[in-house]
Amino acid sequence: MSTNKGRVAVVTGATSGIGFEVAKRLCSDGYTVILNGLHDDKGEEKIKELADHGFTAEYSGFDVTNEEAVSSSIKAIGEKYGKIDVLVNNAGGLGGRSRFEEMTTEFYKKVMALNLDSVFYASRAAIPFLKKGEHPTIINYTSNAAWNAGGPGAGIYGTSKAGVHAITRALAKDLAEYGIRVNAVSPGTIDTPFHAQIKSTKPEVFASWANNIMLGRLGQPEDVSGVVSFLASKDASFITAETIQIGGGQALGI
């Protein structure tokens, strides 16, 4: 734990689901963690929860699709701490479902912005501060949908995550000369608010997805946070441009 004292990690979309679990794990690893989110009240509540555990964390509210807000907020964090060691581009989501024939341009742009533009904005803003970091790293989130083009109506989500796969490798190439590593995790089906709609309308269908997973269960946020912790650590210092699947073998089927 003490090896990470003074290290600064920024986690986007960190007030729920996988993002909060990652923030909590990095806190317990000894990092000072900046949790980003959209809802300030939720952010403050989560900071209090972490403080109650004795962790050092702060909240930075901004919309990851708002270029100006992302740039100024990341700059403010970087200037406050003099560096950023870890950027976790966790924020993302389906944004709804739409088939191509009826898909509006607005929907297309919204989903691309949430999953892909956000990674570009936050990474670009963080680079000057990552250059001052200690074994600095960026961790992105792709998905099985990047390979299988997504479930019904999730074609643009899959397209955006395929873009995240590519930008992860492109950033890794571009930033290698500064010693900045860039990797991605690809969660399988993880039980978070991401699946809130199907869980509330068809809980039996959601539960049955476990039958298609080699390890016979859905993933939990903790299954992802440990891998993010590893990728951020010195133990991963020779790993860059990689994507780690965290799906209990889901990508291969059973």
Residue ranges binding ligand NAD (CB under 6 A): 12-13, 15-19, 36-38, 63-65, 90-93, 114, 141, 143, 187, 189-190, 192-194
* Phi/psi at 246 (5° precision): -125, 80
* Nearer to ligand NAD among residue 19 and residue 248 (C-beta): 19
d(Cα 75, Cα 70) in Å, to the nearest integer?
Answer: 8
* Nearer to ligand NAD among residue 3 and residue 41 (C-beta): 41
* Phi/psi at 233 (5° precision): -90, 170
d(Cα 84, Cα 135) in Å, to the nearest integer?
Answer: 10
Whole-number Cα distances in Å, 190 to 47, 163, 168, 199, 253 = 23, 21, 21, 12, 16
Burial class (CB in 10 A: 0-12, 13-18, 19+), 224: buried
Name the residue type at position 84. I
> Are the beta carbons of 46 and 59 closer than 8 angstroms?
yes
Residue 32, CB-side half-sphere exposure with 13 Å CA sphere: 14
* Nearer to ligand NAD among residue 137 and residue 250 (C-beta): 250
d(Cα 24, Cα 21) in Å, to the nearest integer?
Answer: 5
Shortest Å distance, C-beta 188 to ligand NAD: 6
Residue 121 annotated in active site: no
Shortest Å distance, C-beta 161 to ligand NAD: 7
3-class secondary structure, 112: helix
Catalytic residue, from 59, 121, 157, 234: name it: 157
Residue 161 annotated in active site: yes
* Nearer to ligand NAD among residue 148 and residue 237 (C-beta): 148
Catalytic residue, from 83, 110, 161, 178: name it: 161
Q: Which residue has the tokens 């992105």?
A: 140
* Nearer to ligand NAD among residue 93 and residue 179 (C-beta): 93
Shortest Å distance, C-beta 100 to ligand NAD: 20
Residues known to be catalytic: 157, 161
